[in-house]
Amino acid sequence: MKKMNVVQKILSKHLVEGDPAVDSEIGIRIDQTLTQDATGTMAYLQFESMGVKHVKNDLAVSYVDHNTVQIGFENADDHDFLASIAKKYGIVYSKAGNGICHQLHLERFGKPGTTLLGSDSHTPTGGGIGQIAIGAGGIDIAVAMAGGAFHIPTPKVRAIVLKGKLRKGVSAKDVILKVLEKFGTKGNVGWIFEYTGPGVATLDVPSRATITNMGAELGVTTSVFPSDRVTKQFLAAQGRGKDFTEIVADKGATYDDTFVVDLAKLEPLAAAPHSPGNIVTVKSMKGTKVNQIMIGSCTNSSYRDIRTVAQILKGKHVAEDVEVGIACGSRQVVNMLAADGSLAILIKAGCRILENACGFCIGAHMSPSTNAVSLRTNNRNFEGRSGTKSAQVYLVSPETAAASALTGTFSACAGAKAVPAPKKFPIDDEMFLYRKTAGRGVPGTKIVRGPNIATVPKGVPLAKDLKGACAIKVGDKITTDHIMPAGARLKFRSNVPQYAKFVFEPCDPKFHDICMANKEKGLANVIVAGESYGQGSSREHAALCPMYLGVKAVVAKSIERIHRANLINFGIVPFTFVNAKDYDLVKAGDVLTIDGIRKAVEADGTATLKVGSKSIAVKTSLSDREKHLILCGGLLASL
């Protein structure tokens, strides 16, 4: 029998379309889905328009964790809408205040050996318990809830072999920062990273989940750990022993590539501004003044993490000129910290205790002051994401964050007492509503639609020729935070015409007006970009809102996986330059044409972009399924 790695074991059981040996794209069955409120409203509006009676997959959970600030009616309207949709269609609804989707899903629902699709790029957190957990756009989640397959590029699997044991003061965050140092934030499209080797057994589930969570920053499809004795113990302690299945790679299983990390040799690391792949040692930053420390987010907000911080701060006070904010991952975590005295330690030490929500991570709370140095345990430090453009954000472990909070300068932690894996977690599922009607729903439930809930725009079929203008030209590593800013703009997620006013706000606030003016002249809008366009989040609004503004094509040096899929789902052609140097030949405002664009999509994807007298070769390589979506004007239009 063929020796299989963990990825092959799980995917082979879920394969519904394509053959990994020959096809470049495969379709898999999705067991579980999750949404969060910022992407969820669109996902459910799209699901509604599919006319399905109730969800068809094993479990669908709708979390509210991103937009919980509720300044004005918009967020609250979204919550009411989401709750009513969940009740009607058989979705479990996690109320605001229950916690962050990825932490909660790991605690209460994730199952080894299953597939999970989430409308959030950090869904791979589930890889920490041996789940193939993938982030995608909301409409893909809607399709999966309706029982449809999800398509991924046939993966190449890289073994990250862990050996040795972490030293004191070094933790999971340093492991993933090391992997990011090696592989960077671009060029990993299509890969799945599988953690293996003797060092795996030394990492508890929260540590594994930190690593798979932040694997999203590599741009991989997902990351996964085996499901072993450590997983078994975690699930039993969550009262979910029956959800355990052992899944470990067969002896002799092969991989497409291997990278070895000696845990014993790792030292505290930080991701310096403004990319999670910009790695420095904490030692090299020693003594640098710090103004703010933020601890939490879905990457490092487990009981293990916050308890560690409390142990470091015990009996001490944070430096007088730093502000420290802590957001726990879930109510379970807060309850445990309250019960063991950690919460009192943190309050006494001068920390501000925030809601169990995304908050600061997405610039929706505690933005730093002008030019501040902010040390954070979350996963992204893109310029401006904190809500303050001039802030210098460094990503660090909870250990480094706590040690630096005490000194007010960059400091490595000399060592904190290890937090043993709890034997029994306190279980309280009361803030998960509609569990009893999960899967069936309550037909006849009235959907609550406040004025912030707009309709979903539909695309139109791709025209024969493209006559347009370059509405913007951007550089390398443009993230979805650049394209569709969150923070103060997040509350317009359910209202595309309103949200579309802020497309590319950080790069060119006039983008919306330029697009509208071109549209009026009958010109299509085209975005020209450098390497790794669309890094970061899964937010489909970064494609949906441009579609609404008449964007028909993106021409980039390279495009990241989730964003590329979102562009296709909304009928925007994702072209790349055949010769990357031709990027220099186009500028913003240029009038351009792609004659026969429709034919090019139908055929092999090669086309000529004409700018004045210059002819530039561009290409798009699409599966038959993707071609169909683009020709129809996107997924919704194809139904």
Residue type, 342: S
Residue 19 structure tokens: 């053959």
Comparing CB distances to ligand SF4, the nearer of 135 and 574 is: 135
Should residue 8 be labelled a site residue for ligand SF4 when binding is judged by CB under 6 A? no
226 binds, among ligand MIC, ligand SF4, none (CB under 5 to 8 A by kind): none
How many CB atoms within 10 Å of residue 133? 30
378 binds, among ligand MIC, ligand SF4, none (CB under 5 to 8 A by kind): ligand SF4
Least separation in angstroms between CB 355 and ligand MIC? 16
100 binds, among ligand SF4, ligand MIC, none (CB under 5 to 8 A by kind): ligand SF4
Contact 136, 234 (CB under 8 A): no
Least separation in angstroms between CB 122 and ligand MIC? 5
Beta bridge partners of residue 171, listed in sequence order = none
107-121 per-residue burial string, b: 16 or more CB within 10 A, e: under 16: bbbbbbbbbbbbbbb
397 binds, among ligand MIC, ligand SF4, none (CB under 5 to 8 A by kind): none
Contact 284, 396 (CB under 8 A): no
Distance between start and end Cα atoms, the chain: 41
Q: Which of 29, 87, 105, 122: binder of ligand SF4 (CB under 6 A)? A: 122
Q: Which of 10, 42, 86, 100: binder of ligand SF4 (CB under 6 A)? A: 100
Comparing CB distances to ligand MIC, the nearer of 276 and 422 is: 276
Contact 120, 102 (CB under 8 A): yes
- For 513, residues 6+ apart whose C-beta sits below 8 A from its C-beta are none
Should residue 378 be labelled a site residue for ligand SF4 when binding is judged by CB under 6 A? yes
Contact 594, 609 (CB under 8 A): yes
Beta bridge partners of residue 162, listed in sequence order = 261
Should residue 297 be labelled a site residue for ligand SF4 when binding is judged by CB under 6 A? yes
Comparing CB distances to ligand MIC, the nearer of 29 and 122 is: 122
Least separation in angstroms between CB 242 and ligand MIC? 31
Least separation in angstroms between CB 38 and ligand MIC? 4
Comparing CB distances to ligand SF4, the nearer of 120 and 243 is: 120
Contact 616, 586 (CB under 8 A): yes
Q: Nearest 5°: phi and psi at 58?
A: -60, -40
Contact window for ligand SF4 (CB under 6 A) among 185-193, 314-322, 358-366, 620-628:
358-366
Q: Which of 7, 64, 290, 298: binder of ligand SF4 (CB under 6 A)? A: 298
Least separation in angstroms between CB 214 and ligand SF4? 9
Least separation in angstroms between CB 81 and ligand SF4? 20
Side by side, which strands form the sheet with 150-153?
Answer: 15-17, 25-28, 150-153
> HEC states along 260-329?
EEEHHHCCCEEECCCCCCCEEEHHHHCCCECCEEEEECCCCCCHHHHHHHHHHHCCCCCCCCCEEEEECC
Contact window for ligand SF4 (CB under 6 A) among 80-88, 255-263, 338-346, 357-365:
357-365
Comparing CB distances to ligand SF4, the nearer of 135 and 153 is: 135
How many CB atoms within 10 Å of residue 639? 13
> Which contiguous run of DSSP H or E holds residue 251?
none
Should residue 609 be labelled a site residue for ligand SF4 when binding is judged by CB under 6 A? no
Least separation in angstroms between CB 536 and ligand SF4? 9
Should residue 361 be labelled a site residue for ligand SF4 when binding is judged by CB under 6 A? yes
**How far apart are the C-alpha atoms of 248 and 225, rounded to whole Å?**
9
Q: How far is CA 355 from CA 67, 295, 350, 426, 500, in A?
A: 11, 12, 16, 19, 29
Side by side, which strands form the sheet with 373-376?
Answer: 279-281, 269-271, 392-395, 373-376, 292-296, 323-327, 352-353
Comparing CB distances to ligand SF4, the nearer of 69 and 248 is: 69
Residue type, 514: I
Least separation in angstroms between CB 364 and ligand SF4? 8
538 binds, among ligand SF4, ligand MIC, none (CB under 5 to 8 A by kind): ligand MIC
- For 459, residues 6+ apart whose C-beta sits below 8 A from its C-beta are 547, 570, 571, 632, 633, 634, 636, 637
Comparing CB distances to ligand MIC, the nearer of 134 and 553 is: 134
Comparing CB distances to ligand MIC, the nearer of 120 and 323 is: 120
Should residue 362 be labelled a site residue for ligand SF4 when binding is judged by CB under 6 A? yes
| Residue 279: closest CA among 390, 382, 180 | 180
Least separation in angstroms between CB 362 and ligand SF4? 4
Comparing CB distances to ligand SF4, the nearer of 560 and 582 is: 560
Contact window for ligand SF4 (CB under 6 A) among 46-54, 147-155, 229-237, 355-363:
355-363
Should residue 601 be labelled a site residue for ligand SF4 when binding is judged by CB under 6 A? no
Least separation in angstroms between CB 451 and ligand SF4? 25
Give, as one character, the DSSP assignment of residue 114.
Answer: -
Should residue 379 be labelled a site residue for ligand SF4 when binding is judged by CB under 6 A? yes
Which residues 61-80 are close enough to bind ligand SF4 by CB under 6 A? 66
Interacting residues toward ligand MIC by CB under 6 A? 38-39, 66, 120-122, 135, 362, 486, 536-539
Least separation in angstroms between CB 537 and ligand SF4? 7
539 binds, among ligand SF4, ligand MIC, none (CB under 5 to 8 A by kind): ligand MIC
- For 104, residues 6+ apart whose C-beta sits below 8 A from its C-beta are 63, 94, 98, 329, 330
Residues that bind ligand SF4 (CB under 6 A): 66, 100, 120, 122, 297-298, 358, 361-362, 378-379
